[in-house]
A and B are shown apart, each in its own frame.
Chain A
Amino acid sequence: MSDSSKMFEANPDALAPLLANAATEFVCLATSHGEPFYLNPAGRRLVGLEESRPASAISLREFYADESWIELRDTAGPAVNKSGRWEGRSRLRNVQTGEFVDVYTKMFRVKPDQAGRPSCLMIVHHEAGEQTGLRAALADAQAQKRAILESSLDPIITINQQGIITEFNRAAEQTFGHPRDKILGTKPSEVLFPPAMSAGQQDRIDRYLDVGEGSLLGRRVEVTAVRADGDTFDAEMAMTISREEGAPVLTFFVRDISHRKKAEQEQLRYAAELERSNHELEQFAYVASHDLQEPLRKIRTFSDRLQTLCGDKLDEAANECIQRMQGAAERMQRLIDGLLSLSRVTTQGQRFVPVNLEQVAREVVSDLEVQIEQHAGRVEVGHLPTILADPLQMRQLLQNLITNALKFHRIEESPVVKLEGKYLPGRQQRRAGLPPPADERCRILVEDNGIGFEEKYRERIFDVFQRLHPRDVFEGTGIGLALCRKIVERHGGQITAHGTPGRGSVFEIILPAAHLKPER
């Protein structure tokens, strides 16, 4: 034992002023009546009292905010008298600057000692503002963290540097089916991921914890996770690293995406199914049309032979029956041909190449010369764009629309059909020498002055075998416009019609000008 320790042991009183002087807290000794006789240097700094003024020359009252003084006098004083101590908060006043400082206060009664010194009062303040504020802020942050963790709809899991799970929120409990208290202390690879993948998973987590970076950082990754019952599910996971008391802590945000995945798969399956059934339908139409041709050909051939063999032996009525039969068979043939051409739009489509629609329209008009003359009509071809399309189908489209417009003319007026077109610009600029931008479209209008139609039929006229007029007024099979729609749809466009009875109709076609993706 050193000399100094022996000395302090023999005379502990000698220590007190040393300790008080070294303390960072406000330490004040006062008589049991509240008259100070000692204030340590830290206390003097806090209240702005110069070294030169002795403690006995001051009144405690001047160092406190009024409400604090009243509390000390009325509450703390009696409490110390009764139980020997009091703790609470006070507000000190710096007598030089006039600033207030919030402090935490402890008051003790110091018992009289053997040396005959009377009982006195010790007042200790330490700055509360910082400490309690921090504590409160910490508590607030903890509560907030807790609230976020517990109210999160997605599982949140944290692990420490040893890879041990230290947090497992309610959503995690629900998603994984493990209770929190069973999970804390385990490793994610042991319980949250299927064994097959957890080795890699663990490696990545280790690397992440070791160097604070890795392939998982700042990315959403899709993983397979496993529930308590052994079921695996698709999850999306994001990770973030933070520090808690100097050590890295990894937080996983997990989202159960099995529903979304299932919906996606369902959608894919549905699309495939639709594609297949469409294909089947086309096949059906094609095959049916072929197989229907056979018996029909027989009906026509036999009725033909019947008339050749014994037409001169039959009377007029019988011959008319044969003729009607042949007429019906011929119509049937046209229907089948129409159905066949409809199914061929997709099954026998050609590759898309640049097609000058204006040139196609002029060729069609030239082909229809006889028909146009018959009706004493006129077809005006305006400027039409060049687009990427199936040339034969564009020809068929324009031909059907023009034929249609000529056919449904009014008796009192010769038909005038006008074709116009223009580009509808896309977001990208058009450049000379390059194909039109992918999102550029064009609009083609085919307008006539014919009989028109009622607006309520504007959808129905595009349906297969739909006719608005009796066959003996306007002949036809009801295939023409259905074919137009099918062709336009194969090209990724839309066709609509507007009509005014007795005034005419307008067919509007919107087509993509360029196709990046060729049709199947």
Chain B
Amino acid sequence: MSHSVPRRTMLMADDDGEDCIFVRDALREIGRTCDFRCVHNGEELFDYLRHQGEYVEGRNVPPPDLILLDLRMPRKDGRETLQELKADPHWRLVPVVVLTTSRAAEDVNFCYDVGVNSYITKPATYRELVEIVRILTQYWFEVAELPPKARHGGKTH
């Protein structure tokens, strides 16, 4: 692809399909062209990243530039997933934003303790969500300077 700004990939892990749709629609609404991918729990997230399970072919599985992570998910929940991501030398530099309904202080503390890049509670209205998606993509894809290793975009491995 020949964009002056490289095409970014956003990977969302959330068992709630509707929330994924909201984010996808919000991205569309703000006119952000980015590769948006969804997985539904922590296990699937790692399958995606490590080209395992249904992603074993490794085709059309662009590595993410930003991971949106829900906390309450079946099988492997967000806290466990986050901990594992931030302990993984290959993925720990990729920004992870927790997007959850939980406002519990212990969740917020835990996430920042293990190195989350940002923690956001899911907004009650769609309008607020659109605003959040606008800010997030702008910040992490344009404003923030990240170590080059964090950018897996365009590469396969």
Residues of A within 8 A of B (CB): 290, 293-294, 296-298, 300-302, 304-305, 308, 333, 348
Contacts and interface: CB of A to CB of B under 8 A. Distances in A.
8 contacts: A290-B101, A294-B101, A297-B101, A298-B18, A300-B125, A301-B124, A301-B125, A308-B127
Given A290-B102, A304-B125, A305-B126, 16 more contacts: A290-B101, A293-B101, A294-B16, A294-B101, A296-B124, A297-B101, A297-B124, A298-B18, A301-B124, A301-B126, A301-B129, A304-B126, A305-B22, A305-B25, A308-B126, A333-B124
Interface residues of B, number: 13
Interface of B: 16, 18, 22, 25, 101-102, 105, 122, 124-127, 129
A341 B143 CA distance: 37
A301 B22 contact: yes
Contacts of B18: 298
Contacts of A304: 125-127
A326 to B, nearest CB: 9
Nearest to A293: B101
Nearest to A329: B124
A119 B126 CA distance: 140
A294 B125 CA distance: 12
A348 B102 contact: no
A297 B124 CA distance: 5
Contacts of B22: 301, 305
Contacts of B25: 305
Given A304-B127, A308-B127, A297 B105 contact: no
A304 B16 CA distance: 18
B107 to A, nearest CB: 11
A333 B124 CA distance: 9
A267 B102 CA distance: 38
Contacts of B125: 300-301, 304
A124 B105 CA distance: 106
A70 to B, nearest CB: 107
Contacts of B105: 348
Nearest 8 pairs of A and B residues by beta carbon = A304-B126, A304-B125, A305-B126, A301-B126, A300-B124, A293-B101, A297-B124, A300-B125
B126 A297 contact: no
A280 to B, nearest CB: 18
A300 to B, nearest CB: 5
Contacts of A290: 101-102
A43 B18 CA distance: 126
A435 B51 CA distance: 64
A293 B122 CA distance: 10
Contacts of A296: 124
Nearest to B130: A308
Nearest to A308: B126
A302 B127 CA distance: 11
A387 B127 CA distance: 45
A248 B32 CA distance: 103
B12 to A, nearest CB: 16
